Structure 1
Amino acid sequence: MLPRFLAIDYGTKRLGLAVNDLLGLTAQPLPYLANDSAKLKALRKIIQEKEIKKIILGLPVALSGQEEIAARKARDFAEELRVLNLPLEFYDERLTTAAAHKMMVQCRLPGRNRREKVDSLAACILLEDYLRSQGA
C-alpha cells in the first residue's frame, strides 16, 4: 500500500485538493478550500482524517520553464505549510488547470459549476501525474 498524499493546486483565492487511493492508482478530488485565514486549520483536519503522509504542491512553472510570480506565491505558501510538519514536494503543474477546463467542457459540465470544481480537478491531474512519475 502507498502512503496517502495530499495534492494542492494553489491559487490566490482557492486551493484545489486531491488525495490518492491506497494503491496509488487514482486520485480523488476533495472540496476546494478558500485561501483565507482558516486554510491551515482546515488542512490540518484533512491531514488527520485522511492520514496524509506527504503534501504535493503544484508549482506553476511557465511554458518557458521559468518561475514567475505565481511560482513565487506557491513557494511562499509552502513556507506557511511548514507548521503542518509534513514532507512537502513541489511538482510541475504546468497546464493542469487548462486540462481540467478541457475535461469539464468535454463532459459538458455547465459553466456555473466549473469554477467550484476546476481547482480540485487540477489537483487530481497533478496528483495522478505525480503518481505516474513515481512508478505507482
Structure 2
Amino acid sequence: MPAPWLGVDLGDARVGLALSDPELTFAHPAGNVVVEGDSFLALDSVIDVIEQESVAVVVVGLPLLLDGTRGRSGKKAVRWVNALSNRIRVLMADGSLELNDIPQLRLLDERLTTVSAHRQLRDAKVAGRDHRPFVDQQSAVVLLQSALDSRQTLKE
C-alpha cells in the first residue's frame, strides 16, 4: 500500500496541513501550525508529521502571480522547501529522524486555492467570520487533492 502524501499551505499566521488516505484518493484536513509571521517556524512540526505518518510525498503550495511568475511569496516558498529538505537530511544524518526514505518534495501552483477553500467552507455552511481557523488547512486540502487528482489522470 502506498504511503500517504502531505499537503502544505504556507501562510503568515498559520501553515495549513492536509493528509491523503493511504490509497492516495482523498485529501483531508490535518490541522494548522501557528507560525505568527514566520512559516519557517513550522519546519519541525511538518517533519514530525512526515515521520509519524510515514509520508512519501510533500506537496507545498507555490504562490505564483497571476501572470505565472514567482513573486516574493513564491520565492519564499522555494526557500521553505529547500530548508525542509536540508533539515530532513541533517536530522537523518545525525540519527534523530528515522525515515525509510526521504520524501519527495514538490511545489505546486496554488493560485486560487484560497478562493476555492473559502467557497468550500461557505458550501459547508461555515460562517464567513469563522473561516480564519479553517481556511489554511482547507487550502492545503485543495492543493493536495489537486496533486492526487493529477496523479490519477496521469495513470489513466
**Matched-pair identity in %:** 30
Corresponding residue of 1:92 = 109
State the Cα RMSD in Å.
1.7
Is the aligned partner of 1:115 residue 2:119? no
Conservation of the 8 A alpha-carbon contact between 2:4 and 2:23 = no
- 2:83, 2:21 → 1: CA distance? 26
- 1:40, 1:9 → 2: CA distance? 12
- Measured after TM superposition, the shift of residue 40 of structure 1 is 2.4
Corresponding residue of 2:150 = 133
Of 101-110 and 121-130, the range deviating more from structure 2 = 101-110
- Measured after TM superposition, the shift of residue 38 of structure 1 is 4.7
For the pair shown, which has the larger CA radius of gyration, 1 or 2?
2
Structure 1-normalised TM-score? 0.90
Give the 4+ runs in structure 1 shifted more than 6 A. Answer: none
- Measured after TM superposition, the shift of residue 71 of structure 1 is 0.4
- Measured after TM superposition, the shift of residue 75 of structure 1 is 1.0
Structure 2-normalised TM-score? 0.80
- Measured after TM superposition, the shift of residue 49 of structure 1 is 1.4
Corresponding residue of 1:101 = 118
Corresponding residue of 1:62 = 65
Unmatched 5+ residue regions in structure 2?
90-102
- Measured after TM superposition, the shift of residue 108 of structure 1 is 2.1
Secondary structure in structure 1 of the residue aligned to 2:56: strand
State the AA in 1 paired with 2:5: F
- 1:41, 1:59 → 2: CA distance? 20
Secondary structure in structure 1 of the residue aligned to 2:144: helix
Secondary structure in structure 1 of the residue aligned to 2:106: strand
- 2:109, 2:3 → 1: CA distance? 21
1:63-96 superposed Cα distances (whole Å, 9 cap, x missing partner): 2111111101111211221112432111111111
Conservation of the 8 A alpha-carbon contact between 2:4 and 2:22 = yes
Unmatched 5+ residue regions in structure 1?
none
